[in-house]
Amino acid sequence: MHILITGANRGIGRALADHYRQAGHEVTATARRPSEGELALDVTDPASCAALAARLGGRAVDLLICNAGVYLDKGQALAEGYAAQMWADTFATNVTGVFLTVQAFLPHLRAGKGAKIAIISSQMASHTRAPGGSYIYRASKAAALNLGRNLASDLAGDGIAVGIYHPGWVRTEMGGDSAEISVEEATSGLVARFAALDLASTGCFQTWDGRDHPY
């Protein structure tokens, strides 16, 4: 299986890349500032997406994992205000970035048989979870969830399944040291979810440990 992962230089993306490599799969690990073993991909930049798509040529991608994300308003109080630029920067990565990535690699996904797209959103995307705060991140992840479900409708005809996932509250730079689970736990759960994704479950919104999450 050939797997392309965005934001694979650290955190969940890197752990997924390590897992799939160790399992013997071909992994295209990407990063906006690549180091050894990674290819360049800034998901906010259409030229960067196009350059990597051209570099892959006619190679099929069996699983595209849209993992890159930012949480710029973490801990921001409503009274402090939410800058317009922070909205723009967050949406550029968490929403537009997902769409640009899917769009760029659609020919490679279509070249595979039964290809899949996994979008790493968050439980914070759900309309059932609105306890206040994190206005930008919540809205961006809700938009990514909507995007994923919309893509699921359009791409079913191509035989491409799309799943949207909450990876758990994970101990990464974003999740922080007091988060509930390790990247290894998140990864083994997510890998099982991606394996189970098919056209019957396309458009699903699931947690890392296999529960359907309310939209």
| Nearest CA-CA partner of 128 in 187, 12, 212 | 212
Asked if 139 touches ligand NDP (CB under 6 A), the answer is no
**CB of residue 56 vs ligand NDP: minimum separation in angstroms?**
16
Asked if 86 touches ligand NDP (CB under 6 A), the answer is no
Asked if 177 touches ligand NDP (CB under 6 A), the answer is no
Asked if 148 touches ligand NDP (CB under 6 A), the answer is no
| Nearest CA-CA partner of 161 in 207, 212, 203, 133 | 203
Rounded to whole angstroms, the Cα distance separating 164 from 148 reads 6
SS3 148: helix
Site for ligand NDP in 87-116 (CB under 6 A): 93, 97
* Residue 210 near residue 169 (C-beta atoms within 8 A): no
| Nearest CA-CA partner of 71 in 176, 168, 149, 162 | 176
Specify the stretch interacting with ligand NDP by CB under 6 A; choose among 37-45, 102-110, 126-134, 204-212.
37-45
* Residue 152 near residue 203 (C-beta atoms within 8 A): yes
What does R_g of the chain's alpha carbons equal in angstroms?
16
Which listed residue (24, 57, 75, 173) binds ligand NDP by CB under 6 A?
173
114: left (phi over 0), alpha (psi -120 to 50) or beta: left
Asked if 32 touches ligand NDP (CB under 6 A), the answer is yes
Asked if 174 touches ligand NDP (CB under 6 A), the answer is yes
Asked if 42 touches ligand NDP (CB under 6 A), the answer is yes
Number of residues that bind ligand NDP (CB under 6 A): 32
Asked if 70 touches ligand NDP (CB under 6 A), the answer is yes
Asked if 143 touches ligand NDP (CB under 6 A), the answer is no
Q: Interface with ligand NDP by CB under 6 A: which residues?
A: 6-7, 9-13, 31-33, 41-44, 67-71, 93, 97, 120, 122, 166-167, 169-170, 172-175, 179
